[in-house]
Amino acid sequence: MAITLVDPEGLPKVGAYRQVAVATGSRLVFVAGQVAWDADGATVGAGDLAAQVERCYLNVHTALTAAGGTFADVAKLTVYVVGWTPDKMPHFLDGVARATARLGETPAAPGTLVGVAALDVPEHLVEVEATAVLD
């Protein structure tokens, strides 16, 4: 694998992700922000943050697979959530856990979660983008 995930001493161990990704591969893969669309462009899980998070991660997985990668190759995830407040964290983590169970792999790359006012359409609650490094 081109990515080594690390939790350095002196930084908290969060559990849901690692603090640092060290990349040694030769190909960069940039996955556009994925929203909760199915293959036909219909929104999945309207009004349900966990369902939309799950779908976003499944869509990122599809994009990574098309490039020859997996979540093990992801160096950085960025997540945008509409109207983010800390009380939404259990729903967010539920969506990630559901995606993890379906995919059989854990997206644990360093990540940033950003609260936003809106996304592309009103029914989208979350968007996930990824940067991966492949050998």
pLDDT in tens, 125-135: 999 999 999 99
Average pLDDT rounded to a whole number, residues 73-78: 97
Which region, left, alpha or beta, applies to residue 57 given φ > 0 means left and ψ of -120 to 50 means alpha? Answer: alpha
Give me the chain's average pLDDT, please: 96
pLDDT range class, residue 55, cuts 50, 70, 90: very high
Residue 124: the pLDDT is 98
- 76 phi and psi angles, rounded to 5 deg: -160, 135
- Tokens coding 44: 């999945």
Q: How many CB atoms lie within 10 A of CB 10?
A: 6
Residue 15: the pLDDT is 83
Residue 96 pLDDT greater than 90, yes or no = yes
- 115 strand-pairing partners: 81
Residue 1 pLDDT greater than 80, yes or no = no
Residue 34 pLDDT greater than 90, yes or no = yes
Q: d(Cα 101, Cα 55) in Å, to the nearest integer?
A: 12
Share of the chain above pLDDT 90, in %: 95
Share of the chain above pLDDT 70, in %: 100
